[in-house]
Chains A and B, each alone.
Chain A
Amino acid sequence: MLRERETSVPISNEELREFLEADELDVLASPRFKELLKQRLWELVCCLYGGSSGRGEA
Chain B
Amino acid sequence: MTRDTAREQMERLRGGSLDPDGELVERIRRGSGAHFSEFYERYFHRLYHFAYQRLGNQADAEEVVQETFTAVFRCIDTFRGQSMFSFWVYGIAKNTLNIWLRHVEPLPVQEIAVRTQCSNDAVHSSLYRTKRLFFGAAGSETESSHA
Q: Which residues of A contact B (CB under 8 A)?
A: 2-9, 11, 13, 15-25, 27, 29-30, 33-34, 37-38, 40-42, 44-46, 48-58
Query: Given that A52-B32, A54-B33 are contacting pairs, would A13 and B10 also be in contact in the complex, using a CB cutoff of 8 Å?
Result: yes
A58 to chain B, nearest CB (A): 3
> Looking at chain B, what size class is its interface with the partner chain?
35 or more
Within 8 A of A (CB), among B48-107: 48-50, 52, 58, 61-62, 65-66, 69-70, 73-74, 79-80, 82-84, 86-88, 90-95, 98
- Give 25 A-B contacts (CB < 8 Å), ordered by A residue: A2-B14, A2-B84, A4-B82, A6-B88, A7-B88, A7-B92, A9-B98, A13-B10, A15-B94, A17-B10, A19-B49, A20-B86, A24-B5, A27-B45, A29-B44, A29-B65, A34-B44, A37-B66, A41-B73, A42-B33, A45-B28, A45-B31, A49-B31, A51-B36, A52-B32
Contacts of A51 in B (CB 8 A): 31-33, 36
Q: Which residues of B contact A (CB under 8 A)?
A: 3, 5-6, 9-10, 13-14, 16, 28-34, 36-37, 40, 42, 44-46, 48-50, 52, 58, 61-62, 65-66, 69-70, 73-74, 79-80, 82-84, 86-88, 90-95, 98
A5 to B13, CA, bound (A): 11
B45 to chain A, nearest CB (A): 5
Query: Given that A5-B88, A16-B86, A37-B66 are contacting pairs, would A23 and B45 also be in contact in the complex, using a CB cutoff of 8 Å?
Result: yes
Judged by DSSP, the binding face of A is helix
User: B69 touching A20 by the CB < 8 A rule?
Assistant: no
**Contact check: which of B3, B9, B48, B84 meets A27 at CB < 8 Å?**
B48
A20 to B90, CA, bound (A): 9
B34 to chain A, nearest CB (A): 5
Query: Given that A3-B83, A58-B32 are contacting pairs, would A11 and B94 also be in contact in the complex, using a CB cutoff of 8 Å?
Result: yes
